[in-house]
Amino acid sequence: MILTRLFFPLVAALLFGLSGCSPKDSASATAPAKREVTLEAAAQGKGFTVGSMMSATTVYVFFDTQCPHCGHLWQASMPLHKKAKFVWIPIGMINASSKSQGAALLTAADPLALMTEHETSLLAGKGGIAASAGVSAEIEEAIKANTQLFNSFGAEAVPYVVAKNLRTGQTLGRAAAMDTGTLAAFAGIDWAP
């Protein structure tokens, strides 16, 4: 009985930590030769920045607007915004809405508010924000380049998080939704609930 009470929450936490969205067809996951995951490489993505703009800690998150796991990571990152800078880099992987919603977020006057509205809607099963299907060529190219960069890391699922751990100095890439504590530990950020 005691073992059961401990086992099921552990399995659930492990599955949540390993969860992520991946492409529905293998053709969209084809990539050139795998490149090393570095902060410099991740910084080549075009995204929007939230959190502490002056922080020495930058966490890059490759996400698809239609991925509920990305929505959970967005919520988990909120308590860490005072401790780190987060750059959210939209890719187009899941469906046609991915590109138009990603474009809306990239061009938003207040991406923090729009992303919060979007993820709240997505996690409520309402599909996220309404976005124009007409995307400028420049923004469409940026999302395409973000997707190619994501693929070049050999990543297969979103959210894909890249950060330099403050404690170890190691730059890591990880495809998985994380709770706030796990995300803080991944980046080496001091955080207590």
Residue-wise pLDDT tens digits, 129-156: 988 878 899 999 999 999 999 999 999 9
Is 107 in contact with 135 (CB distance < 8 Å)? Answer: no
Model confidence pLDDT, tens digit, residues 65-120: 999 999 999 999 999 999 999 999 999 999 989 999 999 999 999 999 999 999 99
Give 12: exposed, middle or buried? Use CB within 10 Å, 0-12, 13-18, 19+: exposed
- Which CATH number applies to 2-21+33-187? 3.40.30.10
Label the pairing between strands 48-51 and 85-90: antiparallel
Average pLDDT over the chain, rounded to whole?
Answer: 86
